Chain A
């Protein structure tokens, strides 16, 4: 039978065994490499983590000095410090695993003493710094890279800033008014000139939508002119008030086919318009004034020639007839000037109405036939397949164009020549051609025939009278209808003038 003491001792022994197992398990489990080292620096015990880190098996390393895995000079001071202080708390040392490269580790030590207080050795634990060192190096590299990027960015920013300042200066000092609408049609920018033109402060309007801007009386007219969609336009006239006329261009800004927004440029053309108007008024007035005495001369001459004022002799009659012709030329010139002034003034802007283009052509041919016959030129009208073709035109003005082209063909075609007027339906509308077998237009003069007051040298020789306004007016009128006018000509062979009137201008019959 066991004594009470024996029982207690046995229980104590059980406890101790359990504790030893616990410590052993902990030692084995610890993910930190730990070894126990004798006071003279011989490795006495290692845990599996240490085996793993060092690459040595337990039997390869136990009994070996610490120099096996550390540098001698580094480990010596560590051992001394440990014995003296009882511990070392995180000293960075170089560690040399089996067959591998050195790694930097943090070393912790703590002495172990026996019951008498004698140092029997110390624990040594490693903390592998490679990962951290790596991360640190990586971080440093990233930091440097970032700094470089920052520097570059700063440089770029500075450049952009400079560029922006330049652009800003240009926009600010631009003599045209500028508006920029972003892709959502909100006003993103306007320059001081725009503020002056529209008498509005930009603080009041920047960032506002088209609809909101329309509500402002200062901008309503402009927004109405631009339309909700802000369509592209080129140099379109926009009268802000009666004597303040702007020319508007809208440019759709795109980069790599991405819509950035629309730039609206407004150029002040009031002065030009005023000068133009004055000139037109002057021409119109003088033409009227000139016509009155010319009528008086015409009628006087005609009556003398008719013998209404007594009999005249043949010599007198000849001279008076020539005078009469001169006067007629003067009248024609004044008429051209008057028509021109009217067209330029735009006061008799096209008054479109449905009309039969076949009938219009026929009426002009009928009127011209006799004079062509008298000069010995064959005039032919090539009618279209259809009996009538309805078009939406300003009949008066269109007649002026056709008459003019026929007159030219008449003037510059010689005896026995041929002139034809052709009318064709094309898919875009109608096309009218006046073809002659006349003298033709010299190549180098061709590009100027539509210019105001221009006459070719050859034309002047054949027909001294002529204002040089007919084709200029013709082009104005045809383009006013949305059509196109042009010609083909060869010296000595003849000229063909043609023009088209587009389909949308053609009324449904």
Chain B
């Protein structure tokens, strides 16, 4: 069973994504801020990370920047799940190794599942 780490500070979104992913048959672990997220990336060894950007303690960009420094962690694919989607943010996230980007108001849970499936079905490099 593939393991997904959700890093999201908004409780209802966290709950919704967790339910969706669980019902799709994934194992889910969650973190409610950037610091906790970083800890779980190392300890939980997820196969994929769903990352919010604006969060307390450490924002999504800082999380990505730290993940980049770790040879093991940096191989884990990251999908940004954010309320914002400005071009400057998008290009910065790509530089920091984000695999995909999803603006919450423009996508729905089904599309998120599709993106996750696509990435996880790729052969591991």
Contact = CB atoms under 8 A, between A and B. Distances in A.
A326 interface: no
Interface stretch (B32-40, B41-49, B103-111, B115-123): B103-111
A334 B83 CA distance: 12
B105 A298 contact: yes
Nearest to B12: A296
Contacts of B17: 299
B20 A348 contact: no
Contact of B105 (A294, A303, A309, A396): A294
Contacts of B104: 291, 295, 298-299
Interface in A347-364: 348, 351
A300 B20 CA distance: 10
Choose among A302, A309, A348 the residue with the greatest number of B CB atoms under 10 Å from its CB.
Answer: A302
A300 B12 contact: yes
B125 interface: no
B86 A299 contact: no
Contacts of A306: 109-110
A351 B88 CA distance: 10
Contacts of B75: none
Interface residues of A, number: 21
A308 interface: yes
A68 interface: no
Interface in B1-28: 10, 12-13, 16-17, 19-20, 23
Contact of A300 (B16, B88, B105): B16
Nearest to A334: B105
A351 B87 CA distance: 10
A288 interface: yes
Given A295-B83, A299-B13, A348-B88, A331 B105 contact: yes
Interface in A277-315: 288, 291-292, 294-296, 298-300, 302-303, 306, 308-309
A52 to B, nearest CB: 109
Interface in A308-343: 308-309, 331, 334-335, 342
Choose among A299, A335, A396 the residue with the greatest number of B CB atoms under 10 Å from its CB.
Answer: A299
A299 B16 contact: yes
B22 to A, nearest CB: 10
B87 A348 contact: yes
Contact of A303 (B20, B83, B87): B20
Contacts of B108: 298-299, 302
Given A302-B110, A348-B86, A348-B88, A291 B19 contact: no
B109 A299 contact: yes
Is chain A's binding surface mostly helix, strand, loop or mixed?
helix
Contact of B23 (A300, A308, A335): A308
Choose among B16, B20, B84, B110 the residue with the greatest number of A CB atoms under 10 Å from its CB.
Answer: B16
Given A288-B84, A298-B105, A342-B86, A309 B19 contact: yes
Nearest to B16: A299
B83 A308 contact: no
Given A288-B83, A294-B105, A295-B104, A303 B10 contact: no
Contacts of A335: 105
Nearest to A396: B87
B123 to A, nearest CB: 29
B58 to A, nearest CB: 19
A460 B16 CA distance: 35
A17 B21 CA distance: 157
A288 B23 CA distance: 30
Contacts of A292: 10, 83
A300 B109 CA distance: 9
B113 to A, nearest CB: 10
Contacts of B110: 302, 306
A396 B83 CA distance: 18
Nearest to B11: A296
B19 A295 contact: no
Nearest to B24: A308
B88 A291 contact: no
Contacts of A294: 105
B87 A308 contact: no
Given A291-B84, A302-B108, A335-B105, 8 more contacts: A288-B83, A296-B12, A299-B104, A299-B108, A300-B16, A303-B20, A306-B109, A348-B87
10 contacts: A291-B84, A295-B13, A295-B105, A299-B17, A300-B16, A303-B20, A303-B109, A308-B20, A331-B105, A348-B88
